[in-house]
Chain A
Amino acid sequence: MQVAVERPARSLRETAAVQLRRGFIANLPVAASVAAYGSVLGVLAAQKGIGWLMLLMMNLSIFAGSAQFVMVDMWVAPLPVVEIVIAVMIINMRYLLIGASLQPLFRGKPLGHKMGMMHLVADENWAVTMAAHRSGTATTAFLFGGGLCVLSAWCAGTMLGHRLGAVVQNPEAFALDFAFVAVFTALTVSLWRGREDVLPWLVAAVVAIGVEKLLPGKWYILAGGMAGALVPVFRRTGRKPRGENSNELG
């Protein structure tokens, strides 16, 4: 997803309400693309016969773009509940890292505060918050305000798309079935980290395509993703490490 870098440089001693408002405003640029991308999900969901109330429930309770796209893609009766939950878990595995990276922001906060704030952490408001954190101006209220902004845009976009999707008669003529592939191609490219990704991505693509041919279901996602991500584990030297890793390879 798109990552906008906002650098609010104001006093840390603002009230939570001001911080929340600032977080909301700082996320408005990314929210525009979230709404647009959400409208595509809405159209696809309507084509699959998913009702608007169910879609809204997904938005509010899951609140994770890529995972919801995959869910809608797998939404064929009878619903493969276990496979869906496993696929969502695999795709959202990154939230383990995202959650861990927010630890400095939550230092000293009670458990209840953590539990309340973490639900509205999406890629977008997390990225905006981390950028603000680098200049020392982010708080958990800023993060939450951003979450509210992204959630509003996500709901507005998906609901609008759902209305449109109910009107469009033959989605194939507009290549709406290809929208899923296009969205994920774009999202994948936005995650490219540089030359170090060449081999992991090559392995991931080859394994995913191979497993998709051999096994039924969505196991190719897990197989390809894990195979690719294992490449840098076994490659200990020769590449310039990034960021936080800079002191471990020597």
Chain B
Amino acid sequence: MNLADPEMTAIMAVIGAAAATYGLRLGGLLLSERLPQNGGFRRFMEALPGTILLSLVAPGILAAGTWGAVAAASTALCTWKTRNVFLSMIIGVAIVAAARRLGW
């Protein structure tokens, strides 16, 4: 096995990601009786999905400039009103595409 082979590295990344994900899925079920059902740990785990995704995206919004921020805000507002992730995404992308086309 040649670790420098790009194909091999890619397969390793996929296998690693798959094992981690499956481990968490099954682990959560098997550990369910041992995981604290309340208290600080549960509050932490309940808040985590939102804060993780926000952390993922916040620097990207900042880097996308003024129109990126406008597009992100429109996307957020649309999701808030319609709960439709796909429509919201289209709106954000369309705003950035239009701004670039018009050279803003």
Residue numbers of A with Cβ under 8 A of B are 1-3, 33, 36-37, 40, 50, 54, 57-58, 61-64, 66-67, 70-71, 77-79, 81, 84-85, 88-103, 106, 114-115, 118-119, 121, 172-176, 178-193, 197, 200-201, 203-205, 207-209, 212, 220-234, 242, 244-245, 247-248
Verify A221–B100 contact, CB threshold 8 A: no
- CB-based nearest A residue for B38: A248
- CB-based nearest B residue for A58: B14
Q: Is the interface of B mostly helix, strand, loop or mixed?
A: helix
Verify A225–B55 contact, CB threshold 8 A: yes
How distant is A139 from chain B, measured CB to nearest CB, in Å? 15
How distant is B38 from chain A, measured CB to nearest CB, in Å? 4
How distant is B92 from chain A, measured CB to nearest CB, in Å? 3
A-B contacts counted at CB < 8 A amount to 292
- CB-based nearest A residue for B77: A189
The 10 closest A-B pairs by CB, nearest first: A99-B28, A224-B55, A228-B51, A182-B92, A208-B55, A225-B52, A61-B18, A175-B96, A175-B97, A100-B32
How distant is A110 from chain B, measured CB to nearest CB, in Å? 12
How distant is B65 from chain A, measured CB to nearest CB, in Å? 10
Verify A189–B84 contact, CB threshold 8 A: no
Verify A178–B68 contact, CB threshold 8 A: yes
How distant is B5 from chain A, measured CB to nearest CB, in Å? 11
Verify B44–A89 contact, CB threshold 8 A: no
> 8 Å CB contacts to A: which residues of B1-25?
6, 9-18, 20-22, 24-25
In Å, the complex CA distance between A233 and B25 comes to 24
Verify B92–A64 contact, CB threshold 8 A: no
Verify A99–B25 contact, CB threshold 8 A: yes
Which of B21, B30, B50, B55 is within 8 Å of A193, CB to CB?
B50
Assess A228 versus B54: contact at CB under 8 Å? Given A89-B20, A96-B45, A99-B27.
Answer: yes
Chain B residues within 8 Å of A180, by CB: 60
Which of A37, A173, A181, A226 is within 8 Å of B61, CB to CB?
A181
